[in-house]
Amino acid sequence: MRSKKAPRRIITPDPIYGSRLLQKFINYVMIDGKKSIAQRLVYGALDQIKEESNQDPLKVFETAITNVSPKMEVKPRRVGGASYQVPSEVRGDRKEALAIRWIITGAQTRPNKDYHSFDKKLAAEIMEASGGTGVAMKKKEEIQKVANANRAFAHFRW
């Protein structure tokens, strides 16, 4: 185990919209430290959202994150040789991280026939998530369903 707790890193807001959440999203999209490419993809997706919906893209993005973020999840807990899936509430940071991850993977798994570039896929996934549909929302509902099914083991919570 670690002797000292790792210090929390403060994420600076993104340069265009001034949002910490958007900067976190850009950091998750980034591959191999290529932040400028990640920014181009995310800002391209936000521009597309602005064109298609005629709404503030940052508000649509934040709505998508709040819609996708889960309230409950299950964690495995060993009790007397048996392993139980114990439902527990999700912390704020983890909520954001899961929501961001699910939106990005939802965009990555989209078929190429409709959207040829990642920014278009990302824009479509964010729009669907803000509307309450899409791959990321399906993942959230699946997790909630598992947590509800295992409510009987909630007394094993530590």
Summarize pLDDT for 60-112 with one digit per residue, the tens: 999 999 999 999 999 998 888 898 889 999 998 999 999 999 999 999 999 88
Residues with Cβ within 8 Å of 88's Cβ and at least 6 positions away in sequence, in order, are 72, 73, 74, 75, 157
Backbone φ and ψ for 67, nearest 5 degrees, come out as -65, -40
- Flag whether 73 is in a domain: yes
Residue 9 lies in a domain: no
Kindly report the CATH number assigned to the domain that includes residue 49. Answer: 1.10.455.10
pLDDT of residue 158: 62
Q: In this structure, is residue 141 part of a structural domain?
A: yes
Show the domain range for 80.
Answer: 20-156
- CA gap 23, 5 in Å, rounded: 24
- Percent of the chain past pLDDT 70, that is, above it, reads 97
Entry pTM = 0.90
Does a structural domain hold residue 136?
Answer: yes
Q: How many domains does the chain have?
A: 1
Q: Let me know if residue 58 belongs to a domain.
A: yes
